[in-house]
Amino acid sequence: MKTLWEKSIPVNERIEKFTVGKDREMDLYLAPYDVLGSMAHITMLESIGLLTSEELQILLSELRNIYKIAESGEFVIEPGAEDVHSQIELMLTRKLGDVGKKIHSGRSRNDQVLVDMKLFTRDAIRKLVVKVDELIETLLKQSEKYKEILLPGYTHLQVAMPSSFGLWFAAYAESLVDDLQLLAAAYKVCNKNPLGSAAGYGSSFPLNRRMTTDLLGFDDLNYNVVYAQMGRGKMERTVGFALAGIAATISKLAFDACLYNSQNFGFIKLPDQFTTGSSIMPHKKNPDVFELTRAKCNKIQSLPQQITLITNNLPSGYFRDLQIIKEVFFPAFDELTDCIEMVNLMMQEIKVNEHILDDDKYSLLFSVDKVNELALQGVPFRDAYKQVGLAIESGEFKADKTAKHTHEGSIGNLCNDRIESMKQEIISGFDFQKVDLATENLLKVF
């Protein structure tokens, strides 16, 4: 393999294999985004006189063809190419000759991969938002469907106070809404243009960085060229924290589902086709999907720490260490998306036990409600607490198994409409339409 930067001395094959590592495999994630970045860059180059109008048009035409190949999943990095950038340049020069070599003027592979990473991440966040939105909708729908069905609430894993399936489903919906808020903040960090920072110190070419910013649909630039380069790793870590937040919510939900599905609880039941059996115990129906989801999401929660450990002792400037981030960052989106899709499917088909509180062991759930009832009748709270406590000790406590909770966010007033409204407001703030329009304009044939 001959690298773009190889001069008269050939690179040792073992060194080359070690330094390239999994980069060619990881770069397949970046192929369509490298094309878009190149299209914006050469459009700008033509505007400052580094390409003729004719050269621009033939390059754009061929890049559109390569984009279609990348989008179809047929893009490959050949053995003679080191990475996605060199593969695309190879394809252009093979088809168009020396004009294909001009696309690299005014940029480095450093800012080329920076913009690719941001375009990939921006798109991956968008796809993730769609999946989280779908799961929130399922949870809110189930919350409304089962809002009258009570179940025990626990503290310290001890029976505590009455809860409901309405609360349980919607609690995870609202948690995911907060996770979307963090994802929106990470998106804003991501959605800034590093192109034009070159190797991290700018260029003597009169580059028009505002033009490429607009062409690619970025909100703004990473202005300082040194910071643009320093932002690699930081952007991924910031997004990693947002992914970890979603994963934490999903993991907790999976744990609840495993617990509630067990015979000792019996609060929910999974359809038989969603469970797996035992190799020795014929009665077993295991919630393997939720168990694997819990493990995968716990692993994803380590993502920001992994990125931190790769980058935390690096000074300013580019270092090859940053290449390794791709190996933990790219697959995390696919894995988290897979978990969300599985949980959404399970939540849609889950069966709820509507008679949990018929069991007398849950009668003490309503002791606090009884204390509050006495307090509303004028009994001081501490006296009411003692009175109910003594009744429990003597076995005389009689539970009224109805929950009269009316304040915002309680059993009788879920406020699911407000959760839905918050979700819609956050999603609209991403302004994905701006990105759509920019991409459409780049790919448009005039």
Fold of 117-149+162-204+213-356: Fumarase C; Chain A, domain 2 (1.20.200)
* Cα distance from N-terminal residue to C-terminal residue, the chain: 37
Beta-carbon contacts of 99 under 8 Å, excluding residues fewer than 6 positions away, are: 55, 58, 59, 92
- Give the span between the Cα atoms of 184 and 251, in whole angstroms: 21
Q: Which of 210-219, 283-292, 310-319 has the highest mean pLDDT?
A: 210-219
Q: Give me the pLDDT at residue 199, please.
A: 94
Q: What DSSP letter does each residue of 160-176 carry, written as one string?
A: EEEEEHHHHHHHHHHHH
- Give the span between the Cα atoms of 297 and 336, in whole angstroms: 7
Q: Percent of the chain having pLDDT more than 70?
A: 95
Fold of 13-105: Fumarase C; Chain B, domain 1 (1.10.275)
State which amino acid sits at residue 166. Answer: G
Do the strands 150-155 and 351-352 form a parallel or antiparallel pair, or are they unpaired? unpaired
Residue where the block lists tokens 């617990």: 259
Which tens digit of pLDDT belongs to each residue from 101-110? 999 999 999 9
Q: What is the CA radius of gyration of the chain?
A: 28
DSSP state of 193: E
Q: Percent of the chain having pLDDT more than 90?
A: 83
For the cut 90, the answer to whether the pLDDT of residue 81 exceeds it is no
Domain residue limits, the chain: 13-105, 117-149+162-204+213-356, 360-393
pLDDT range class, residue 79, cuts 50, 70, 90: confident
For the cut 70, the answer to whether the pLDDT of residue 393 exceeds it is yes
Q: SS3 of 286, please?
A: strand
- Give the span between the Cα atoms of 225 and 222, in whole angstroms: 7
Q: Kindly report whether the global pTM for this prediction surpasses the value 0.85.
A: yes
Q: Give me the pLDDT at residue 320, please.
A: 85
- Give the span between the Cα atoms of 73 and 71, in whole angstroms: 5
- Give the span between the Cα atoms of 387 and 2, in whole angstroms: 85
- Choice among 171-180, 251-260, 360-369 with the minimum mean pLDDT: 360-369
CB 215 within 8 A of CB 442: yes
Q: Give me the pLDDT at residue 1, please.
A: 44
- Give the span between the Cα atoms of 113 and 101, in whole angstroms: 17
Which tens digit of pLDDT belongs to each residue from 288-335? 899 999 999 999 999 999 999 999 988 998 888 899 999 999 999 999
Phi-psi group of 257: left, alpha or beta (phi > 0 → left; psi -120 to 50 → alpha; rest → beta): alpha
Residue where the block lists tokens 């773009």: 4
pLDDT range class, residue 446, cuts 50, 70, 90: low
Angle at 335 between CA 330 and CA 337, to 5 degrees: 105
Q: SS3 of 268, please?
A: strand
For the cut 80, the answer to whether the pLDDT of residue 182 exceeds it is yes
For the cut 70, the answer to whether the pLDDT of residue 278 exceeds it is no
Residue 407: burial class (beta carbons within 10 Å; 0-12, 13-18, 19+): exposed
Among candidates 379, 349, 211, 222, which has minimal Cα distance to 287? 349
Q: Give me the pLDDT at residue 369, please.
A: 93
- Give the span between the Cα atoms of 176 and 143, in whole angstroms: 14
CB 413 within 8 A of CB 164: no
pLDDT range class, residue 388, cuts 50, 70, 90: very high
Question: How does the average pLDDT of the chain come out, rounded?
Answer: 92
Q: SS3 of 348, please?
A: helix
